[in-house]
Amino acid sequence: MAKADYYETLGVSKTASEADLKTAYRRLAMKYHPDRNPDDESAQEKFKQAKEAYEVLKDPQKRAAYDRFGHAGVNHGPGPGGAGPGGFHGDVGDIFGDIFGDIFGGGGRRRGQQRRGSDLRYGMDLDLEEAVSGVTREIRVPTLGECKTCKGSGAKDGQKQTCGTCGGVGQVRMQQGIFSVQQTCPACHGSGQQISNPCPDCNGQGRKHETRTLSVKVPAGVDNGDRIRLAGEGEAGAHGSPPGDLYVEVRVRPHKIFERDGDDLYCEVPVPFTLAAMGGELEIPTLEGHVKLKIPAETQTGRMFRLKGKGVKSVRSHRTGDLMCRVVVETPVKLTREQKHLLREFDKTFAAESNEHNPRSQSWLDGVREFFDRMTS
């Protein structure tokens, strides 16, 4: 009797991906599994056919040979895990461990993989000047370090034995109906090894509490929230497993003068009303020193001046931002009697031509009148 086409058996096309093959086989395996159909020989036969098709098509080399030569290109003699003439003799647990391993805790043939140490986070407060120019800081970090006595192994004599519960795999398999569920070995906690003579200094953990002093070089241009990764400076892993990483998070303190937005800096520049009216030069601070800013005559509050290249040099793009200066015209306070008299005399000169000298006030008053006219009409 001619064998059915493997693709037709699984109900997939010849261009099916590995995920499509796995999904199709899972569907058929659950439908025709012998445990669910103990007295149905046809279901068991379909299960064997689906298994045989999947075993061939999941292997890239066997699949290529089958696509080229058909059934003659692959060998299906009975063997370990195969389906011979005498019936179904496959390892059902292995089949479902491969198919459902990613759902129920990972593949079944992975050797014990120890979990690396935990990552640590450290907050570093910087002034704006330090963040812009860069700085080197020493920090003290409380952590779990490698035990010096046992050198991280956790064993007093440095010797470990293969776990008798899982056989060194690090996982144990539990059969639940037709599903094979894998879990971390409770005896060795996934390491695959056990310690018969634990280290007295670290109680067999391979690590101890310590405070470590580190030198951190902060590059120029970092911003608030940026993180600096120090590989291998986190907590040491248990029983000699790799350490985690240390992440230093930058926190920039608020500045009295400047406010940063990306690579640009912003500041408010108070300008005396006489200088704003007549124009002139004003000395303003930057991160590189003082520069002179030319104030045009008749400058009003809110006007922005851009100083090219006086911002922050980005740590990523190496572009240098700008300094944005917002003018705030300052009203004089604590006037003397003579100064008040002079201002009143000065104000009288505007009476005849107030619209010309105070254009914004006039336009605002016109807007107020229009608003009330609309409200009352």
Structural domain boundaries, residue 304:
259-330
Query: Which of 194, 222, 252 is the endpoint of a domain?
Result: 252
Same-domain check for residues 125 and 209: yes
| CATH label of the domain that carries residue 296 | 2.60.260.20
Same domain (yes/no): 67, 133: no
Distance CA 342, CA 344 (A): 5
Question: Does the model's pTM come out above 0.85?
Answer: no
Rounded mean pLDDT, 190-202: 83
In a domain, 295, yes or no: yes
Cα end-to-end distance, the chain, whole Å: 98
- Per-residue pLDDT tens digits for 99-136: 444 434 444 444 445 578 889 999 999 999 999 999 99
Residue 112 lies in a domain: no
Taking each helix axis from N to C end, the angle separating 41-57 and 60-69, rounded to the nearest 10 degrees, works out to 100
Asked if residue 351 and residue 305 are part of one domain, the reply reads: no
Whether 17 is covered by a domain: the verdict is: yes
| Rounded-to-integer distance, Cα 184 and Cα 190, Å | 5
The answer, yes or no, to whether residue 170 has pLDDT greater than 50, is: yes
User: How distant is the alpha carbon of residue 324 from its chain centre?
Assistant: 32
Residue in the structure block whose two tokens are 């491969």: 98
Are 320 and 355 part of one and the same domain? no
Residue 143 inside a domain? The answer is yes
- Shared domain check, 139 and 204: yes
Looking at mean pLDDT, say which of 31-45, 145-159, 236-250 comes out highest. Answer: 236-250
Q: Which of 236, 252, 268 is the last residue of a domain?
A: 252
How much is the pLDDT for 86? 37
- pLDDT higher than 90, residue 30: no
Among the candidates 252, 278, 306, a domain finishes at 252
Question: Which residues, other chains included, contact 371 with Cβ-Cβ below 8 Å and sequence gap of 6+?
Answer: none
DSSP 238: G
Task: Decide if 101 is inside a domain.
Answer: no
Give a yes or no: residue 133 inside a domain.
yes
Q: What is the CATH number of the domain that holds 84?
A: 1.10.287.110
Q: Please check whether residues 79 and 138 belong to one and the same domain.
A: no
Same domain flag for 49 and 163? no
Task: Establish if 227 belongs to a structural domain.
Answer: yes
Q: How many CB atoms lie within 10 A of CB 127?
A: 13
* CATH number of the domain where residue 151 is located: 2.10.230.10
Q: Is the predicted pLDDT of residue 96 greater than 80, yes or no?
A: no
Question: Which band of pLDDT confidence, cut at 50, 70 and 90, is reported for residue 74?
Answer: confident
d(CA 290, CA 205): 58
Number of domains forming the structure of the chain: 4
Residue 170 sits in the same domain as residue 236: yes
Q: For residue 307, is pLDDT > 70?
A: yes
Q: What is the pLDDT of residue 354?
A: 57
The lowest-confidence range among 82-86, 238-242, 295-299, 344-348 is: 82-86
Q: Is residue 308 part of a domain?
A: yes
Q: Are residues 273 and 298 in the same domain?
A: yes
In the chain, the percentage of residues whose pLDDT exceeds 90 is 32
Q: In the prediction, which pLDDT does 84 show? A: 39
Check whether residue 187 and residue 299 sit in a common domain: no
Q: Are residues 153 and 239 in the same domain?
A: yes
- In the predicted structure, residue 326 carries a pLDDT above the cut 90: yes
- Please check whether residue 298 is in contact with residue 271, taking contact to mean a CB–CB distance below 8 angstroms: no
What is the rounded distance in angstroms from the CA atom of residue 221 to the CA atom of residue 205? Answer: 41
- Report strand pairing: 179-184 vs 171-176: antiparallel
State whether 248 and 126 are in the same domain: yes
